[in-house]
Amino acid sequence: MDHEDYMRQALDLAREAMEAGEVPVGCVVVWEGRVVGRGRNRREEDRDALAHAELMAIHEANETLGGWRLHKADLYVTLEPCAMCAGGIVNARIPRVWYGAADSRFGACGSALDVFSAPLNHRPQVTGGILAEESAALMQAFFQRLREKRRKPAAPCCNETKGDDLMEFQYEDSRIFLPDGKGGVLAEITFPDGADGVPVIDHTFVDGSLRGQGVAGRLMEAAVAALRASGRRANVTCSYAVSWRDKHPEAADVLL
């Protein structure tokens, strides 16, 4: 088998991750021509920040070989490793890394930063671009599918009456809001993607005229419903959202 054959096995694992709703990254560890470790992204399924494809594959290789040193191994992964996974590769003493698509945001093999150029006691040899187009196409397809899920037609999530006016929350990709009819908003909640691609509920606002009517809580309910419907989870940073999360354990499957 050649390098592309091993990368195709990693791509199969990446497709498996995609079907499970995970970012499509797959990895195999090869020891003297034999695949001894396989892994794919499982972060959402396992609710584990460390469950990246490379670390999953390294863990399985350690179990298969009965030791932590992988000094005769080659690691094949569909996407350039991040800093965490690059650290795992160094600690496993893997001498050769082969990856598919470069990652300009988080790649730690020369794109965003270069962990392996640091003065460490182990520096793997790195080769990128193995079946890069296939790997990149898979990533693009995944995020296109995710965007399509988010682009649902604006629809009321919950209705409240204030006097004779019917108020309807409106949806955008990372925002739910209550328009005031004049180009402004009476209430809103925002949840843009964070640096790691995970949404962050970072802002809630309710106009003083609506205070005390439970509108902020209904915004949180709307955000949780929207995130759950699209298969996403979110970190929480704004103080009201943190307080609301702590009082609503039923939202623990969505709010981190």
Give the C-alpha separation, 149 to 85, whole Å: 29
Structure tokens at 175: 């925002």
Tell me the sheet residues that pair with 15.
none
What are the residues whose beta carbons fall under 8 Å from the beta carbon of 61, sequence distance 6 or more? 29, 31, 36, 37, 70, 73, 92
Q: Among residues 226, 14, 23, which one has the least CA distance to residue 144?
A: 23
The verdict on whether residue 27 carries a ligand-binding annotation is no
Does 85 show up as a binding residue in the annotation?
yes
Residue 42: other Cβ atoms inside 10 A: 18
DSSP 152: P
Among this protein's residues, is 54 annotated catalytic?
yes
Catalytic one of 22, 54, 80, 188 = 54
Whole-number Cα distances in Å, 87 to 18, 47, 108, 118, 230: 25, 21, 9, 11, 32
Q: What is the largest CA-CA distance in the chain?
A: 75
At 164 the three-state DSSP class reads coil
DSSP 8-state class, residue 153:
P
Is residue 52 marked as binding?
yes
Cite the annotated binding site for Zn(2+) by residue number. 52, 82, 85
Residues labelled as active-site residues = 54
Q: Which residues are annotated as a binding site?
A: 52, 82, 85
